[in-house]
Structure 1
Amino acid sequence: MSEAVKISKATYHLYTFTISKLISTFGSSVYAFGISLYVLALTGSAANFALNLICSILPRTLLAPFAGYIADNYSKKMIVILAQLASALSVGGLLVYSIYAGLSLPAIYTTTALISVSSMFASVTFSSSIANLIDTDRIQKAMGFNQSAIAIATIGGPVVGGILFGFVSMNVFLIIQVAAYLLAVALESTMNFKLFTNRITETVEDAKKSMVTGMKEGFVYLRSNRVVMVIVTVAVGVNFFFSALMIGLPFIAIQELEIETTHFGFIEAMIAVGMLLASIYFSVGKEVKFPLRFSKRGILAMSVLLAGLALPLMIEFSYTGAVVYFLLLMLVFGVTNVFVNTPIGVMMQKDVEEEYRGRVFGILESMAMAMMPLGYLIFGLLYDAVPAEYVVIGSSLCLIVLTGYMMRPSILKQAHPELDQDFIPVNPELQK
């Protein structure tokens, strides 16, 4: 295949991938919001709502490394298509069950768990495939489009889910979800997941390796690659301390400052708006030259914004002032979130060897997801026992220390050896 044909196909992939990601992510967001409303309306129990959330998070956490191994050793295209079909069948099964027996909590929990597993397989496989689908020069654009799709789904999913929940029956709601997944499958079936592959054909010895051996190799590779190991460690830490914001924001805004829930909804939405704006910037801007250093600055900025949650508790704000302050704070937080994730994502697409990429992304997702329930539990207890301003400021300082140590100058230079060139004077006469 000629280079011109490859570039043309990569351009097709760029937009097809974005549309497919938007459809599937939007569908998942609509389903999650709509089914959560149904559970609350059916039971009026926060515990049942939380159990549905656990059914969504726990399977992803446990099975993500396994999904990474599968992505590295089998056809990525087939995995993505089968995963999306599994999601469609799961929702379709719930639809059939509801027609004949009516919806029940066990059926909803089972469907949520199945969709969580299938969407995780699709997500890990897609994440490990971007460098195979898109040419190297446009990976950042693809990552920007990907973040844009997530942001749009985050903003629009609850809105559409709320509208559908209020105006159509649950059966019609489920039919729309099935149609969305099938449309995503139709788009993904036209993509070539080996367009830019550099992987050598599998040997007989490789084929004979057991799954356990293959997964161990992924962990060994991760430990041997110091820079990638730093990225994974920092990502886990950021995800953990991000829980301080996810728990602290509603607690401080609604419980401590008595901000109305309607206004709080706008505050939360500003995170997604900020993500969308930053994603557009990355999709049209030049590629970041030193992604690890760029992301380090983004995490430090995020740490300062986390501490900023405490300001209205320490300085008296008017009601309007507090709402405006949180709107701006969350907008900037959304921007910094993408400023951290996108350059790191591009770097991992380029630096992680193709044969290990699925396992590395699987391990990353598993460890990051594991931090969410742990963080929710720990910070939920802390906010009840310690003044909120101490929790967010303490979390901010811990994140700054973690980032400063893990992304110290020696690590940055190892990731970007050309950093030393920044200090070479432009005028050679100055070196004499």
Structure 2
Amino acid sequence: MKINNHESNVQILKDVSSNLISTFCGDMFSFALGLMLLHATGMSLSFGLSMIIMPIVTLIGVVPIGNLVDTYPHKHILVISLFVRIIALFIYAITIHHFSGMGKLIPTIIFLAINYVSVNVSNSGYTASVHELVNTSHIQRLNSLSQAASSFASTFSPVIAASLYVLVGFQSFIIFQLAAHFIALVILLSMHFHYANASKKEALGPHESQLGKFKLGLQYLMSHKFLRYLICVALFLNFIFAVTNVGLPFIVVQHLHLGNITLGILNSSDAVGMLAGNLIISMAPELKQLAKILAVTMCAIGLALCGIGGLFVANQSELVVRIVGALMVFTVGMSVAFMNTPFGIYMQKTVPTKLMGRVSSTEMSLNMISIPIGTVFYSFIFQFFPNGIIFIASGMLMLGVTGLTMPKFIHTQMPDQDESLETNQ
């Protein structure tokens, strides 16, 4: 059954509303959780606990989650996954007060592990179900507006969470999160998933081993050169972006002593850049010259990183760093939006729906590996060389990789609507 434009627009409105509420409350809850653990344990690890648990859970679940998403109806998976998250949060709410000090880490680690399993299932299930929610001409708007909602939430939720935490305490944030989950569940239940006949047959087909099913997704991924290249680029970008995650706080606060406000301005500029980029994509005509867009944005990121490094080396004025640095970081954020959103669109227009769960699960797991590796690498580098030259070197590396690898794929375009529909049916 073909999804008409009106229904696609309604589905986009529901999805973006759900994503905005869920991400906003989720980010506030994560911030409050970190503060609660910090006060209870006194450990700086409190804010980084999720960054340790998330990659572990993602890697363990890469095979079963991908197979699960590609075997059963996506709406059922999403509803059950969200319901599990609600139950886990409710149990956490009534048990956390029975622990004190370091003991609070026990229920928190268990809760975060269950929560991230559910989140990974939902993310893979959502990625695989896009063709069941909107028609192909609306995929770009759905992806860009969903990303814009997440960027908006990431920009403002920490500020609101920090203000509310003093007034209402951690328990109120649990209530906010539960309310957000219930609203998201109601919206999800109201959405119509248009299943293709091929997907139903796949679900009713003969049972294979978990590894056997997953290998089909890997074989597709390995046979698609440009998709494989894009995933390698994503791994490289996640590694390089650790230079900002680690380097900005270290250089701005510890080395240049420009204060937390300056750091906050730079971090906010990144999120605002991503928000602006996704809003531009949502209003732009359908993207066609995919490889050229990616080449331009990769060069922009490389030049911006060089600019940030040059700024730290040449001028340590607080005002200049705030203004010029914010523009540079804004450029990085906007460029990331023009990398992530077209990549997601390309995957959804290229990968057959019956394989999307396995391919997206593999892609997410690989990205999770590169993030901690990059964090450890740049933490070590900045510890011994706290200098803007590291930013310049990273930017030059980005430009070099772009120049060496992108020309081979420079004429690659986004698949046509009719072609992608035929591939996914």
TM norm. shorter chain > 0.5:
yes
Name the CA distance, whole Å, in 1 between partners of 2:264 and 2:393.
26
Q: Secondary structure at the match of 1:309?
A: helix
> Partner of 1:118 in structure 2?
118
Q: Secondary structure at the match of 2:78?
A: helix
Conserved? CA contact 1:65–1:366, under 8 Å:
no
Q: Secondary structure at the match of 2:190?
A: coil
> Partner of 1:89 in structure 2?
87
- 1:13 partner letter: Q
Name the CA distance, whole Å, in 2 between partners of 1:43 and 1:79.
36
Conserved? CA contact 2:141–2:283, under 8 Å:
yes
Report which stretch shifted further, 21-30 or 56-65.
56-65
- 1:66 partner letter: P
> Partner of 1:185 in structure 2?
185
> Partner of 1:146 in structure 2?
146
- 1:86 partner letter: V
Q: Secondary structure at the match of 1:208?
A: coil
- 2:247 partner letter: G
State the Cα distance separating 1:274 from its structure 2 match: 1.1
Name the CA distance, whole Å, in 2 between partners of 1:415 and 1:65.
30
> Partner of 1:159 in structure 2?
159
Change (3 A) 1:205 1:15: closer
Name the CA distance, whole Å, in 1 between partners of 2:199 and 2:112.
38
Q: Secondary structure at the match of 1:209?
A: coil
> Partner of 2:8 in structure 1?
10
Matched, 1:362 2:361: yes
Name the CA distance, whole Å, in 1 between partners of 2:114 and 2:104.
16
> Partner of 1:421 in structure 2?
none
State the Cα distance separating 1:52 from its structure 2 match: 4.2
> Partner of 2:64 in structure 1?
66
Question: What TM-score comes out, normalization by structure 1 length?
Answer: 0.90
Q: Percent identity?
A: 24
Q: Secondary structure at the match of 2:45?
A: helix
Name the CA distance, whole Å, in 1 between partners of 2:337 and 2:347.
15
> Partner of 2:249 in structure 1?
250
Q: Secondary structure at the match of 1:128?
A: helix
CA offsets, 1:115-168, max 9 Å, x none?
122112111211222222111111111111111111111012212322332111
Change (3 A) 1:100 1:170: same
The unaligned stretches of length 5 or more in structure 1 are 419-432
State the Cα distance separating 1:203 from its structure 2 match: 5.6
> Partner of 2:78 in structure 1?
80
Conserved? CA contact 1:92–1:175, under 8 Å:
no
State the Cα distance separating 1:330 from its structure 2 match: 1.5
State the Cα distance separating 1:61 from its structure 2 match: 3.6
> Partner of 1:422 in structure 2?
none
> Partner of 1:315 in structure 2?
314
Name the CA distance, whole Å, in 2 between partners of 1:404 and 1:125.
35
Conserved? CA contact 1:66–1:362, under 8 Å:
no
Change (3 A) 1:69 1:407: farther
CA offsets, 1:375-426, max 9 Å, x none?
1001100111235333222222222232333322x323355799xxxxxxxx
> Partner of 1:306 in structure 2?
305
> Partner of 1:378 in structure 2?
377
Change (3 A) 1:198 1:340: farther
Conserved? CA contact 1:64–1:121, under 8 Å:
no
State the Cα distance separating 1:79 from its structure 2 match: 1.2
Conserved? CA contact 1:16–1:187, under 8 Å:
yes
Matched, 1:285 2:272: no
CA offsets, 1:231-286, max 9 Å, x none?
11111111111111211111121122211102311221111111111111111121
Name the CA distance, whole Å, in 2 between partners of 1:194 and 1:406.
39
> Partner of 2:265 in structure 1?
266
> Partner of 2:419 in structure 1?
none
Change (3 A) 1:11 1:401: same
Name the CA distance, whole Å, in 2 between partners of 1:97 and 1:204.
38
Matched, 1:171 2:147: no
Conserved? CA contact 2:63–2:210, under 8 Å:
no
Name the CA distance, whole Å, in 1 between partners of 2:285 and 2:413.
19
CA RMSD across the alignment: 2.2
Conserved? CA contact 1:152–1:276, under 8 Å:
yes
Name the CA distance, whole Å, in 1 between partners of 2:258 and 2:242.
20
Report which stretch shifted further, 232-241 or 396-405.
396-405
Matched, 1:41 2:52: no
Report which stretch shifted further, 363-372 or 352-361.
352-361
- 1:339 partner letter: F
Name the CA distance, whole Å, in 2 between partners of 1:416 and 1:338.
17
- 1:370 partner letter: I
> Partner of 2:393 in structure 1?
394
- 1:90 partner letter: A
State the Cα distance separating 1:86 from its structure 2 match: 1.6
Matched, 1:350 2:349: yes
- 2:241 partner letter: F
The unaligned stretches of length 5 or more in structure 2 are 417-425
State the Cα distance separating 1:17 from its structure 2 match: 0.9
Change (3 A) 1:203 1:153: closer
Count of equivalent residues: 414
State the Cα distance separating 1:57 from its structure 2 match: 3.5
State the Cα distance separating 1:27 from its structure 2 match: 2.3
Conserved? CA contact 2:255–2:386, under 8 Å:
no
Change (3 A) 1:284 1:169: same
Question: What TM-score comes out, normalization by structure 2 length?
Answer: 0.91
Q: 1:29 aligns with which of 27, 30, 34?
A: 27
- 2:130 partner letter: I
